[in-house]
Structure 1
């Protein structure tokens, strides 16, 4: 594929940085609410898609990292929902996860399957804790996990296509994910 087609993907992530994940989410208790919720915040959306992209591009067992991400996201959400626990430095952890995922995509960083799964799980927990504070009820939680898996699938499909893309296109895509971290630090996203 031509470089221009891959560069066209970058604005999808970069433009999301201009949006804010705002509003009172405490009313979200239904399956559809939970399924739509990861689509409303550019940070969550970019992280979930980036996990799939990185996994398909760089990992020998590309399903392990997305499944570990979803499991850790679920664990963080359950802990937050069940106990009301608020993860210390949660926003910083989400911001850091975006920076790391952006680098993983940009560098197409390969690692052993267990390390890839552990990395994804570590990066996901803060996203789960954030979702757990915003969603109420197991129907919403189930919707969120299903939506997460679908977004990972979208990322996997993109990653398969990006395997043969020019290095610059992958680097720009990864940089756009990492740019969300900077946008969060700057208060834009």
Structure 2
């Protein structure tokens, strides 16, 4: 039954966003070790939306973008994380993160068919900001490699979830629903940018 399928997909999406009710950059609590690194990307709406959108975008582009776009994000995020952990200043990190949600949401909403290399370059740029936020919030006494492994694995899983949502919604309900979700995410990015979310 199509309405039953739609309900399950909507429920899955809502469940995936539940941990994101708290904003990731409040600076409270211990942020060390694998578990803390793993929890960081899924503890903020900004990160969750951007990382799921990377997966959805990869699904929309298809072909080699299906693996190139998410892997580029994770690799560049690791570089950004190293910059943040070593104290290298990167201006406008929060702006870059909010812009990533807006930009990725718009790319999904308009179903932009960019070449895989260009899409990878775009997500790589955004990933540096996300990684810097993760690395900068790692305390000095943290097990750096374990923390980094945690946030990289969580990010990869969110990308896989985005690809799965793309397949699940795009092929069963229709690509217009995927584009609608991208539009809502872009608006959420605007809310994050303005402080409304």
Shorter-normalised TM range:
0.7 to 0.9
- Count of aligned pairs between the two proteins: 188
SS in structure 2 of the partner of residue 178 of structure 1:
helix
TM-score (norm 1): 0.87
- After superposition, the Cα gap between the structure-2 partners of 1:50 and 1:29, relative to the gap in structure 1 and judged at 3 Å, is same
Matches within 5 A, 1:97-116: 97-116=100-119
Deviation at 1:18, TM superposition (A): 6.3
- After superposition, the Cα gap between the structure-2 partners of 1:169 and 1:4, relative to the gap in structure 1 and judged at 3 Å, is farther
Structure 1: distance between partners of 2:182 and 2:170: 13
- Residue 23 of structure 2: aligned partner: 20
- After superposition, the Cα gap between the structure-2 partners of 1:108 and 1:10, relative to the gap in structure 1 and judged at 3 Å, is farther
CA displacement, residues 90-132 of structure 1 (integer Å, 9 cap, x when unaligned): 1111111111110111122222221121121112111111111
Matches within 5 A, 1:121-132: 121-132=124-135
- Residue 160 of structure 2: aligned partner: 153
User: Which of 178, 185, 190 is 1:182 aligned to?
Assistant: 190
Structure 1 stretches of 5 or more lacking a match?
A: none
- Which 4+ runs in 1 deviate beyond 6 A? 13-18
Structure 2 stretches of 5 or more lacking a match?
A: none
Structure 2: distance between partners of 1:99 and 1:169: 17
SS in structure 2 of the partner of residue 135 of structure 1:
coil
